[in-house]
């Protein structure tokens, strides 16, 4: 039985698969093979995420996009059990927490300086002066 005679030809998943096969390839599949392809491709659908933030910004003549998605991991991955993956993940999370902590300290310091609070008399890190010169200069 050729692909043209198959009853699965009307299936949207199979139609999409066949449109992606380049010209010149022999695509004579029987119904069992088509059903197997459909089952294999069924798990490739995108799920919606509880946190899905997508945006783009323009800088000069280029546009850049960024995506932040988060949610429960339903994948069955063997990578997570590898020691190197666990170590890399721990390093990444540690660096992320350090960055968030330092950024938080910077924000608190800038707010303190903007309010004119002087904790150490006659001492400054110079961050407020730099911030005013770069971001608040009119």
Q: Are residues 119 and 76 in the same domain?
A: yes
Same domain, 20 and 59: no
Res 138: pLDDT: 58
pLDDT of residue 1: 46
10-residue mean pLDDT series, the chain (138 residues): 60 77 77 80 68 86 88 69 83 96 94 86 82 77
pLDDT at 44: 60
Q: Enter the DSSP assignment of 8.
A: G
**Pair (38, 57) in one structural domain:** no
Same domain assignment for residues 76 and 110: yes
- 74 & 124 share domain: yes
In contact, 29 and 3? CB cutoff 8 Å = yes
Please give the sequence-ordered ranges of beta strands (E in DSSP) within the chain, or none if there are none: 51-59, 62-70
What domain range is 95 assigned to? Answer: 51-135
Q: What pLDDT sits at residue 35? A: 81
- d(C-alpha 55, C-alpha 107), whole Å: 24
Q: What is the pLDDT of residue 107?
A: 94
- Whether pTM > 0.75 for this model: the answer is no
């Amino acid at each position: 039985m050729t692909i043209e005679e198959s009853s699965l030809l009307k299936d949207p998943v199979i139609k999409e698969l066949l449109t992606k096969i380049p010209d010149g390839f022999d695509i004579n599949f029987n119904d069992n093979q088509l059903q197997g392809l459909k089952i294999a491709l069924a798990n490739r659908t995108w799920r919606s995420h509880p946190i899905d933030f997508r945006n783009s910004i323009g800088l000069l003549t280029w546009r850049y996009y960024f995506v932040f998605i988060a949610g429960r991991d339903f994948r069955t991955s063997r990578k997570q059990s590898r020691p190197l993956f666990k170590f890399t993940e721990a390093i990444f999370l540690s660096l992320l927490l350090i960055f968030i902590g330092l950024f938080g300290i910077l924000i608190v310091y800038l707010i303190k300086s903007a309010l004119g609070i002087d904790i150490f008399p006659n001492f400054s890190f110079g961050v407020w002066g730099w911030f005013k010169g770069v971001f608040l200069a009119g």
